[in-house]
Structure 1
Amino acid sequence: MPVEVNESTGHCTLIGDHVRIEGTGPEVEIFTDEQLRMSVAVLAGERVPITEAEADALTVVGAVDSRRHLKASEPGSVI
């Protein structure tokens, strides 16, 4: 699991292939990566693909949720 969240302290750790970054929830921003078709957490300029459950866990500790819902019926949607 690329995300570790401590709800009692508000701290989280993002774990990527070659990176392990720690910070507080509000320092994390969650985006939708249209090419990957999944969410990505960004902390200190590092991007880590995450599941929707991990994105939800990050929002509990204050991460900024900038996700967009991709819909096949929207013009220009990648799906």
Structure 2
Amino acid sequence: MSFNIDSNHICTFDTEEFNEQRPASELTVITDAEKAMSAVDLNGGRVYITEAQADALTVAGAVDGRKNLKATDSDSVI
């Protein structure tokens, strides 16, 4: 996947399924708890992104809908 944010805060996602451009202000960064990854829902699909990309999106104006996940295993140090 290719990902870019231009100087006008337009985000480009280029995947095998689609090439999509959207203003950052129309996007919400979410947490997929099952995969423990950040993602953006686009065109009925989910695009998984790195934390650096998630941070860049929120700086550009996307809503930060991420949730902190914590381990439920009793052996966890968290």
Q: Same fold (TM over 0.5)?
A: yes
Larger RCO (CA within 8 A; separation ≥ 6) = 1
The unaligned stretches of length 5 or more in structure 2 are: 74-78
How many aligned positions are there?
A: 73
* Structure 1 alignment gaps of length 5 or more: 75-79
TM-score, normalising length: structure 1? 0.79
Task: Provide the residue aligned with 1:58 in structure 2.
Answer: 57
Structure 1 vs Structure 2: percent identity of aligned residues? 42
* TM-score, with structure 2 as normaliser: 0.80
Divergent runs of 4+, >4 A: none
Cα RMSD after superposing both structures: 1.8
SS class of match (2:17):
coil
Provide the rounded CA distance (Å) in 1 between the counterparts of 2:42 and 2:64: 13
**Is 1:32 equivalent to 2:37 in the alignment?**
no
